[in-house]
Structure 1
Amino acid sequence: MSSKLRPSPLPYTPLSTTIITTAAAASSFNVQHSVANLQRRSTCHIPAHIYNHPSAILLELCTCIKEVHQFIPLIVKNALYNEHLFQTKLVSLFCKFGSLREASRVFDPIPDKVDALYHTMLKAYARNSSLDNAFSFFSRMNIDGVPPIIYNFTYLLKACGDNSDLPKGKQIHAQLIVNGYASNVFAMNCIVNLYAKSRMIHEAYKMFDKMPERDLVCWNTIIAGYSQNGLAKRALHLFIRMQEEGRSPDPVTVVSVLPACADIGSLRIGKSIHGYVVKAGFQSLVNVLTALVDVYSKCGCVGAARLIFDSMQFRTVVSWNSMIDGYTHNGDSKQALQLFQEMLNEGVEPTNVTLMQALHACADLGDLVEGEFIHKLLYKLQLTSDVSVMNSLISMYCKCKRIDIAAEIFENLQGKTLVSWNAMVLGYAQNGRVTEALNLFCKMHLQDIRPDSFTMVSVIPALAELSVLRQAKWIHGLNMATGHNFKLNPQNLLKFKVPEDVQGSAVARRH
C-alpha cells in the first residue's frame, strides 16, 4: 500500500485529473494480476476463534464512543488489535459515532488495508468532514488502486447535494459514467437530489425523466425537489402522476407533498391527503402529523391543526414549532405564547425557529416582559450569535418601544444582514426617530449595502416627517437606480405615508 493518510486536513485533488490517471493506470495492468489483486484486497480469511471472540461480540453491542474506549484495552490485552476484523470494527464504530480523528488513528497504521476499510472511511469523510476532504480521500482511493463501489458515489453525491455544490457533484456524475453506473437507479436518484438541492429543478427533472425505471424513492425525491423549490403545483401534478403509474404514496411522499398544499393554500387537497393518511395507517407517525398541522394552519384551519397536535402521542420540537407558527400565522399571538410556555413546561428545548416565532408574537402583542424573558433565554441557549434570531429580537424591542435596547443590540451584532438594517431603520421610523432612520439609511449607502423595497418602505415615511426635498430627490434617484419602481416623484415622497401595520408586515416577512 502507499503512504499513510494523516488525520489532519487533506489537500484537495480535482477529480477531473484523477479520472484520466486512473483510467490510464487501469489499462496498464495485466488483467489476471488485477483480478488476483482485487480478490486479495477485497477478502480476508477470519479464523473462527477471532470471529467468535467475546471482544468482537462486545464491540457489536457498543452504543456510544465511551463504551468503545472501554473495550480497547481488552482488545490490546488479547493481542487482537492487529486483526483485520477488529480494525474494521473499530474504524466503523469511530466513524459511526462521528470521531473521524480516532478512526484515522486506527486506519493509518494498517499496512495492508482491505477495501472495506476505505469504503468505511470515505463514508465518514462524506458525513463528518468537509467536502474537500471527502473528495481528497476519494482521489486517494483511486491512487491506491481501490475500485469504487456504487455507495462511494452516493455518499459523495449526497454530501454535494447537502452543500449545494453542483460543480463537485458534476465531477462525481462523470465518475459514475466512467465506472459504468450511469443507469443505476440508486445513483441516478442521488443525481436528481443533487440538482434539486442546487436549485436546478428543471435539470433534476431531465435526469428523472431519463431514468429507465423509477422506484418510490425517485418519485419522492423529485416531488420534494419541486415542493422545496416553490413549485407547488408541479409537485402536486407529479404526486398525481405517480399514483397513475401505479405507485402508492408512503409516509415520505406525504411529508414531501403536504408543504405544497400549504404553499398554495389548497385545503381540499390537504384534506384528501389526510384521508389517505388515515386509510394507509400513517396517522401515528409524528412527521406525517406535523406536516398535517402545518398544512391546516396555513390553510386557515388552526382549530383542526390544534386537534391533530393534541392527538399526537409523541411530539418533536418541529411539531411544537409548526403549531406555534400556526397561531402566529393566523394572528393569534396570545395563544402562540401560551403554547410556547407549555413547551417550556414540558421540558422541550426550543430551537432558533421557536424563539423567532415567540419573539414575533411578543412584537405583535407589545409584550415587553415576555420578550425580555426570551432575550435571557437566548443567552442560556447560546443563540446570541444567530443573526436571524437577533433580527427578530431587534424587531421585538422596536415594537415594544424600547428603541434604545434595539439600537444597542444592532450596534453589537456581528454579521449584520440586510434584514438587520431594515429592522432597525423601520424601528426608528415607527418610534418617531425619523432623523436616526434617515441617518442609518445613509450609513447603509456609505457601507455599500444595497437597499431593497422593504428598506424604501421604511425610510419614505421618515422623509415625509422631515419634509426634506433634497433627500427625497436622492431617495427617488436611488429608487430608480436600484430598480424599485414605486412610480414616485420627490414631491409625492414628502406626502407619502405608509400604514404602520403594512410596514411591520413587510419586515416580518423578511425574517
Structure 2
Amino acid sequence: MACLDARYKGHGANPTEGAMQSKHTLLGLLQACTSLKQAQQTHCQMITKNLASETILLNKLLSFCAISDDGCLDYACTIFSRTDQPSVLMWNVMIRGHSLYNKPEQTLFFFKGMQQAGLSPNNYTYPFLLKSCALLSETKHGEGIHGHAVKSGFELDIFVSSALLHLYASSERMESAELLFVKMPIRNVVSWTTMIAGYAHCGKGADAIRVFKEMQVNNIHPNHVTLVSVLAACALTGDLEMGRFIHGYVRRSGMQTVTALETALLDMYAKCGRLDVSRELFNEMPDKNVISWNAIIGAYNQARQHKEAVRLFYRMRLHNIKPDKVTFSGILTACAHLGDGGLGQAIHAYVTKSNFNTCGALGTALIDMYSKLGDTDSAVQIFHSISHKDAFTWTAMIAGLAMHGQGKGALDLFEEMLREGVHPDEVTYMAVLSACSHAGLIQKGCEYFDCMTTLHRIQPTEEHYGCLADLLSRAGLLEEAERLVESIPVKPNVAIYTALLSGCRIYRNADLAQRITKKIVELKPERAGVHVLLSNVYAREGRWQGVKLARKVMKEKRIKKYPGWSSIIRDADRL
C-alpha cells in the first residue's frame, strides 16, 4: 500500500487532480475550437475520459455547435437529445441557435419542451423567442410569448422589451409598440431606433420624424442605423428640411464614411426632388457597393430618366460590381419604359444563366417588361414558371393582359388569384377595373368595385373612381357616370373628368361636355391631352367658338401637343 502511495506521489497522479487537469485541458480545447471537426474530436475525448456529462464542458460544446458560425446545429441537437435533464442555459442555447438559423417553428418547439421539463424561462430566453415570432406571419405566437413574459415579470427588462418592440414594429402594429415604448423604464438608442424604423417601414414617415425629435429632446444620441431610418422617413414625406438637418449632423459627427448612411442620403435627396444633389453625393462616395449603385439607378428611374439609369448600369459593370436582384429589377423597369427589348432579353438570359430565383420583385419586373413590350406570351410563360407568386406578381400579369385588351383573360386570372388565397391590393383592383372597362363588362366592373370595398376593405382612391367612371362612360352610361362623380367622397381630379369627357366625345353629349368643361377649367389642367380632347368635343358638335377658345387657352398657357414618336435604341445610346 505504501508503495502504491509512493507511486502516485512520484507521478503526481492523484485521481481527482488528474480529472481536474483533464477538465481544464478539454475546456481550453473547446475555447480554442475553430471548426466542427475540432469540436467533435474534443467531444470524443470528453467521452473517453468519462467527462461527457460535465456541465461546464457540455455547455461550452453545445454553445459552439449551436451558435458559432463554424458549428453545426444538427450536431448540437444530437448532443442535446442525449443529455439528461438539460439546464435552463442549455435550453436557451438551443432556442438561440434555432433563432439564429431563422427556424422559428423549431425555436418555439424547444420553448414548449423547456416548459414541459418544468423549467422557467429567463430574460435571455425571451429575446430570441420574440425574434423568431417576428419571422412568422401570424402574430398570435408573439402575443402568447408577450403574455408569458408579463406573467414572468420580464416584460420591462431592457432586452425583452426591445425584442417586443421589434416584434410589433416588424408586424406594423405600431399602436402596440407605442404602448410598450411609453411603459419602458429605460429607453436606449436601440429602443428609439426600433420605433423610428417601425414607423418608417409601415409608411408613417411623419410619426417616425416625430419620434426622432422626441429622441433629441431626451438627449439620446442617434447612431447610423437611427439616421438611416430617419432619412427613409424624410424620403417618404418629402421633408427636405429635416433631410438636410440629418446631412449636416452626419458631417459634423464624422459618420459620412458609413456606406449605408451615404446611400440613404442620396436616396432621400432623389425622392425629395433633388436628383442633382443625389448624383453629386454618389460621385463623391469613396466606396460604392451594389446597394449604392442600386439606389442611384432607382433614383433615375423614379425621375423617368431611364436612359441614364441604363448608362449607370453599364458603368457599374465596368467597375466590376456584381449586380443583384434589385439591380436587375431596376434595369428591367428602365427597359420597359424605353422599349429596349434587346437589353431586356439580355438581362433575362443573364438571370436564367445565373440561376437567380425569379420569385418576388425580379419575376414581377420581367412580367411587367415583356407586357409593356407587347410580348404577353413571354410574360405568361414567366408567370407560370414562378413557383411562389405574391400579390405583386399576380397584379403585374393581370395588368399586362388588361393593357393589351385581353380583359377576359385578366379577369379569369384574378379569379384564380382569389381561389389561391392571395389577397389583392389597391393596385390589383386598378388592373381589374381597367380590364372590365376595356372589355365593356359593366356589371362585372361594378361587382368588383363593391367587392373591393366590402370584402377586401380597400378604400377606393381617385384612380379607382376614375376607372369606374371610364367604365360607365365607355358604355354610354354618361348620366350614371356623372352621378358617380358627384357622389364620390374624394375630390374628383382631372383624370376622372377626362374619362367622362371621352364618353361625351364618343356619344356626342355636348351638354354634359359643357358642364364637365367648367369643372376641368377650375382645376387648371396643364396637360395638352385634356385641352385637345375639349377641342375635339366641340369640333364634333360643330361648336367652332369652343374649339377656338380651347386652342386659345393652350396658346396662353404655352401648352404644346407633341406628335407621337417612336425610338430605336442603339448600343451607343446606352453608353
TM over 0.5: yes
Instruction: Map residues 36-51 of structure 1 onto 2, 5 A cutoff.
Output: 49-50=21-22
For the pair 1:391 / 2:364, whether they are aligned, the reply is: yes
Whether the aligned pair in 2 keeps the contact of 1:473 and 1:490 (CA below 8 Å) is: no
Separation (CA, whole Å) in 2 of partners of 1:333 and 1:244:
43
The code of the aligned residue for 1:440 comes to G
- Counterpart pick for 1:169 among 139, 142, 147: 142
- Counterpart pick for 1:87 among 46, 58, 61: 58
Separation (CA, whole Å) in 1 of partners of 2:341 and 2:146:
54
Q: Which moved more, 1:289-298 or 1:130-139?
A: 130-139
TM-score computed with the length of structure 2 as normaliser = 0.69
Q: Which moved more, 1:345-354 or 1:253-262?
A: 345-354
Q: Aligned-pair distance for 1:405?
A: 2.0
Q: Deviations 1:101-157 (Å, cap 9, x if unpaired)? A: 111112222335444322211111223253332122122223334342201011111
Whether the aligned pair in 2 keeps the contact of 1:255 and 1:287 (CA below 8 Å) is: yes
Query: Closer, same or farther in 2 for the Cα pair 1:133/1:410, shift >3 Å?
Result: closer
Q: Deviations 1:458-511 (Å, cap 9, x if unpaired)? A: 425633xxxx5xx34543454355445445376512475799x9xxxxxxxxxx
Q: Aligned-pair distance for 1:182?
A: 3.1
Question: What's the secondary structure of 2:99's corresponding residue?
Answer: helix
Separation (CA, whole Å) in 1 of partners of 2:266 and 2:18:
53
**Aligned counterpart, 2:44:** 76
Whether the aligned pair in 1 keeps the contact of 2:359 and 2:386 (CA below 8 Å) is: no
TM-score computed with the length of structure 1 as normaliser = 0.77
Separation (CA, whole Å) in 2 of partners of 1:142 and 1:46:
38
- Counterpart pick for 1:479 among 441, 444, 449: 449
Q: Aligned-pair distance for 1:289?
A: 1.5
**Aligned counterpart, 2:421:** none
Instruction: Map residues 138-287 of structure 1 onto 2, 5 A cutoff.
Output: 138-287=111-260
Q: Aligned-pair distance for 1:385?
A: 4.1
Q: Deviations 1:145-204 (Å, cap 9, x if unpaired)? A: 434220101111122123354221122222222222233222222222222222210111
- Counterpart pick for 1:440 among 392, 409, 413: 409
Separation (CA, whole Å) in 1 of partners of 2:396 and 2:138:
32
Query: Closer, same or farther in 2 for the Cα pair 1:380/1:62, shift >3 Å?
Result: farther
Q: Aligned-pair distance for 1:338?
A: 2.6
Q: Which moved more, 1:316-325 or 1:485-494?
A: 485-494
Q: Between the two proteins, what is the percent identity of the paired residues?
A: 28
Question: What's the secondary structure of 1:213's corresponding residue?
Answer: coil
Whether the aligned pair in 2 keeps the contact of 1:164 and 1:197 (CA below 8 Å) is: no
Q: Deviations 1:257-292 (Å, cap 9, x if unpaired)? A: 110000011111111101101111211112211211
Gaps of 5+ in 2: 1-16, 419-423, 454-463, 477-498, 504-526, 530-575
Q: Deviations 1:418-448 (Å, cap 9, x if unpaired)? A: 5444434443454xx42xx122134236536
Question: What's the secondary structure of 2:153's corresponding residue?
Answer: coil
Separation (CA, whole Å) in 1 of partners of 2:137 and 2:186:
26
Separation (CA, whole Å) in 1 of partners of 2:160 and 2:392:
39
The code of the aligned residue for 1:423 comes to A
The code of the aligned residue for 1:286 comes to T
Separation (CA, whole Å) in 2 of partners of 1:248 and 1:418:
40
The code of the aligned residue for 1:176 comes to A
Gaps of 5+ in 1: 1-44, 502-511
**Aligned counterpart, 2:291:** 318
Separation (CA, whole Å) in 2 of partners of 1:299 and 1:410:
34
Whether the aligned pair in 2 keeps the contact of 1:305 and 1:323 (CA below 8 Å) is: yes
Q: Which moved more, 1:388-397 or 1:410-419?
A: 410-419
Query: Closer, same or farther in 2 for the Cα pair 1:314/1:105, shift >3 Å?
Result: farther
Whether the aligned pair in 2 keeps the contact of 1:393 and 1:406 (CA below 8 Å) is: yes
Query: Closer, same or farther in 2 for the Cα pair 1:59/1:289, shift >3 Å?
Result: farther
Whether the aligned pair in 1 keeps the contact of 2:402 and 2:438 (CA below 8 Å) is: yes
Whether the aligned pair in 2 keeps the contact of 1:429 and 1:461 (CA below 8 Å) is: no
The code of the aligned residue for 1:72 comes to Q
The code of the aligned residue for 1:91 comes to L
> Of the two, which has the highest radius of gyration?
2
Q: Which moved more, 1:473-482 or 1:90-99?
A: 473-482
Query: Closer, same or farther in 2 for the Cα pair 1:307/1:485, shift >3 Å?
Result: closer
Query: Closer, same or farther in 2 for the Cα pair 1:47/1:365, shift >3 Å?
Result: farther
Separation (CA, whole Å) in 1 of partners of 2:255 and 2:391:
42
Q: Aligned-pair distance for 1:362?
A: 1.0
The code of the aligned residue for 1:479 comes to F
Tell which has more relative contact order, 1 or 2 (C-alpha 8 A, sep 6+): 1
Q: Deviations 1:321-377 (Å, cap 9, x if unpaired)? A: 222211211222222223333434444443322221111011111111211121112
The code of the aligned residue for 1:141 comes to M
Query: Closer, same or farther in 2 for the Cα pair 1:417/1:113, shift >3 Å?
Result: closer
The code of the aligned residue for 2:202 comes to N
- Counterpart pick for 1:343 among 311, 316, 319: 316
Query: Closer, same or farther in 2 for the Cα pair 1:361/1:105, shift >3 Å?
Result: same
Separation (CA, whole Å) in 1 of partners of 2:135 and 2:55:
33
User: What is the total number of aligned residue pairs between the two structures?
Assistant: 442
- Counterpart pick for 1:492 among 466, 473, 476: 473
Query: Closer, same or farther in 2 for the Cα pair 1:137/1:481, shift >3 Å?
Result: closer
Question: What's the secondary structure of 2:255's corresponding residue?
Answer: coil
Whether the aligned pair in 1 keeps the contact of 2:146 and 2:164 (CA below 8 Å) is: yes
Whether the aligned pair in 2 keeps the contact of 1:59 and 1:89 (CA below 8 Å) is: yes
RMSD: 3.1
The code of the aligned residue for 1:462 comes to H
Q: Aligned-pair distance for 1:307?
A: 2.9
The code of the aligned residue for 1:266 comes to D
For the pair 1:108 / 2:81, whether they are aligned, the reply is: yes
**Aligned counterpart, 1:19:** none
The code of the aligned residue for 1:380 comes to K
Separation (CA, whole Å) in 1 of partners of 2:316 and 2:31:
37
Separation (CA, whole Å) in 2 of partners of 1:157 and 1:86:
28
Question: What's the secondary structure of 1:362's corresponding residue?
Answer: helix
Q: Aligned-pair distance for 1:47?
A: 6.8
Q: Which moved more, 1:254-263 or 1:103-112?
A: 103-112
Whether the aligned pair in 2 keeps the contact of 1:476 and 1:488 (CA below 8 Å) is: no
For the pair 1:454 / 2:454, whether they are aligned, the reply is: no
The code of the aligned residue for 2:21 comes to H
Separation (CA, whole Å) in 2 of partners of 1:493 and 1:123:
61
Query: Closer, same or farther in 2 for the Cα pair 1:217/1:482, shift >3 Å?
Result: closer
For the pair 1:334 / 2:313, whether they are aligned, the reply is: no
Question: What's the secondary structure of 2:356's corresponding residue?
Answer: coil
Q: Aligned-pair distance for 1:294?
A: 1.5
Q: Aligned-pair distance for 1:237?
A: 1.1
The code of the aligned residue for 1:406 comes to A
Query: Closer, same or farther in 2 for the Cα pair 1:85/1:186, shift >3 Å?
Result: closer
Separation (CA, whole Å) in 2 of partners of 1:122 and 1:424:
42
Separation (CA, whole Å) in 2 of partners of 1:493 and 1:206:
51
